[in-house]
Amino acid sequence: KLVRIFWGNSTNYGSASQWTVGNNPWQVAVGDLNGDGLDDFVTVNYGTHDLSVRLRDPAGGFKAEVRYASGSDTRDVQLGDFDGDGDLDMVYTYNDAANARLRLRKNNGNGSFGAPTDIQMGSVAGVVFHSIAVGDLDHDGKLDLAGGTGDGRIYVFLGDGKGGFSREATEDLSGDATCRVYDLGIGDL
């Protein structure tokens, strides 16, 4: 129910401050959500099936928590300007009994978020998404997504720069149901 922040200076870290969020937070994403030049954060709250947004208070600390329903079995959240309007949107995993999916919530420009939109997955029944990575995979200047699953697969979705995505590829890492992709990273190695 808590996120601890260790405030750093030029040589080390000072004392920690803690902030209340939903039950059983699994993942944290950090970025400037309201355009004020200060980093804010979003947590995935696995136990309460929601996302907590905490905007930085210029006077110090963080403003009151705002929660957004995420649905059951949400495990990861990432930030990026997926619709090309200059602010950070959020994408998160959503797994229910029938289907796994990635969901997008567009930023309203002030650090609040609109209704969720499901990213079209195609046929992925029985899959559980554990992780998401964000980056420009096809070098077109638009953010793309990779989603890692509990059965050892990575799904790639190419972004159109307007908040839409198309499923491009699926990579089976092991051919073995015991492989799980709990975290992903994208980079030019």
Region 163-175: mean pLDDT is 83
Long-range contacts of range 90-97, CB-CB < 8 Å, 24 or more positions apart? 90/29, 90/42, 90/51, 91/119, 91/132, 91/134, 91/145, 92/44, 92/51, 92/132, 93/44, 93/129, 93/130, 93/131, 93/132, 93/147, 94/70, 94/118, 94/129, 95/127, 95/128, 95/129, 96/71, 96/72
* CB neighbour list of residue 100: distance below 8 Å, 6 or more residues apart: 93, 94, 121, 124, 126, 127, 128, 129, 149
Domain holding 32, by residue range, is 9-172
pLDDT for 13: 86
Question: Does 51 fall in a domain?
Answer: yes
The per-residue pLDDT for range 88-121, each reduced to its tens digit, is 999 999 887 667 789 999 999 999 999 999 887 7
Question: Does 3 fall in a domain?
Answer: no
Question: Does 185 fall in a domain?
Answer: no
The per-residue pLDDT for range 110-150, each reduced to its tens digit, is 999 999 998 877 666 667 888 999 999 999 999 999 998 88
Report how far residue 93's alpha carbon sits from residue 105's, in angstroms, rounded to the nearest whole number: 11
pLDDT for 10: 81
Sheet of strand 100-105, all strands in order from the earlier edge strand to the far edge:
77-80, 89-95, 100-105, 117-119
Is 70 exceeded by the pLDDT of residue 176? Answer: no
User: Are the C-beta atoms of residues 167 and 153 closer than 8 Å to each other?
Assistant: no
Domain count, the chain: 1
**Token couple for 91:** 């994408």
pLDDT for 86: 97
Question: Does 187 fall in a domain?
Answer: no
The CATH number given to whatever domain includes residue 59 is: 2.130.10.130
Higher pLDDT, 73 or 111: 111
Question: Does 69 fall in a domain?
Answer: yes
Question: Does 104 fall in a domain?
Answer: yes
Question: Does 22 fall in a domain?
Answer: yes
Report how far residue 52's alpha carbon sits from residue 68's, in angstroms, rounded to the nearest whole number: 7
Q: How far is CA 187 from the centre of its chain?
A: 17
Question: Does 186 fall in a domain?
Answer: no
